[in-house]
Amino acid sequence: MTSIDDWMARRVTVHLVTSGPTGPVLVGARVLFGEDPEEVARGLGDLPEGAPLVALDVLTETVSLPRGRALHVDRIVFAEPGLVSAWPAVVPTEGLIPPAPALAAEEDPAPEGARPRMRRFSSYGIVTDPAGRVLLSLIAEGYPAAGTWHLPGGGVDTGEDVRAALRREVLEESGQAGVVGELITVASHRRTQSTGTDIYAVWVFSHVHVAEPTVPRVVEVDGSTADCGWFTPAELTELPLSTTAQRGMEFLVRHRRRG
């Protein structure tokens, strides 16, 4: 059976609102396997390593290509801190650059003898309720980081945008209906799987608010979630957290300090 992944290729781009000769401009570039989106953005603006950036949005674009194929592009938008208000007025009338057709070509293949590669684009939520509790899911046995508490979320399906993916994942993992709000940050992670596969992931972290929380329950069947629960901030310090959850919480703290 032919799946959507057989005819729709995936690409990632980064865009930066930066200073131009006559005012703010928007520049963009493709993100290749293993590249950190923030570092690509800093390179676009000729900014020093570690220079602060503000994650503004993640846009999903799907376009048709010749010979019955299509392209799914996840476009990550950053801005230099003093130029946030310029978005989205700086978007050119012809659309974001590079345009989708220019991204059709495959990346150069991995060097001979290199590990097999796997790329993931995932959307995770810092999910809260009116009482200030945080929702977490327990990773099931047989999955990486089994037995640790994880942020609700997961892979963005081909043809799906990051917000729809996050709403779906929160519902599947906990039965909660949440509203996806502010984007916290976008980061990358690279590791070698036990099978030897080189895995490169781009993680989108967003705030999700559940206005009317219920008793959480895992809805998905035979998935990666064994349990779920609401936790107070004090209780979080006693839990074994996954790498994704630890980084997400750290990003949230830095994000609030900036605000």
Tens-place pLDDT, residues 129-186: 999 999 999 999 998 889 999 999 999 999 999 999 999 999 999 999 999 999 999 9
Widest distance between CA atoms in the chain:
56
Indicate the length of the chain as a whole number: 259
- Backbone φ, ψ for residue 133 (5° rounding): -75, 160
Domains and CATH numbers, the chain: 4-103 (3.90.79), 117-258 (3.90.79.10)
pLDDT tens digit sequence for 197-238: 899 999 999 999 999 999 999 998 888 999 999 999 899 989
Token code pair at residue 20: 């131009």
Q: What is the pLDDT of residue 123?
A: 97
Q: Is 25 exposed, middle or buried (0-12, 13-18, 19+ CB in 10 A)?
A: middle
Which residue's structure tokens are 């570092």?
Answer: 39
The pair of structure tokens assigned to 15 is: 């865009």
132: left (phi over 0), alpha (psi -120 to 50) or beta: left
Give the pLDDT confidence score for residue 3 in this predicted structure: 59
The DSSP letter of residue 241 is B
CB atoms closer than 10 angstroms to residue 152: 27
Write the DSSP symbol of residue 24.
E
d(CA 126, CA 210): 11
Q: Model confidence over 6-16: pLDDT tens digits?
A: 678 999 999 99
Token reading at 174? 């906990």
Per-residue DSSP letter, 29: E
Q: Would the pLDDT of 2 be above 50? A: no
DSSP state of 173: H
Dump the DSSP string for 55-110. EEEEEEEEEE-STT-EEEEEEEEEE-GGGGGGTTTTS-TT-SSS-GGGG-SPPPPP
| pLDDT tens-digit series, residues 184-206 | 999 998 888 777 889 999 999 99
pLDDT exceeds cutoff 70 at 258 = no
pLDDT band at 239 (very low <50, low <70, confident <90, very high): very high
What predicted TM-score, i.e. pTM, was given to this entire model? Answer: 0.91
DSSP-assigned letter for residue 154: E
Report CA dihedral (236, 237, 239, 240) to the nearest 10 degrees: 120
Per-residue pLDDT at 20? 93
d(CA 86, CA 95): 16
Taking residue 100's Cβ as centre, other Cβ atoms within 10 Å add up to: 20
Residue 221's pLDDT is what? Answer: 87
Collapsed DSSP state (helix, strand, coil) of residue 155: strand
Tokens of 232: 């107070």
Return the amino acid letter for 89: A
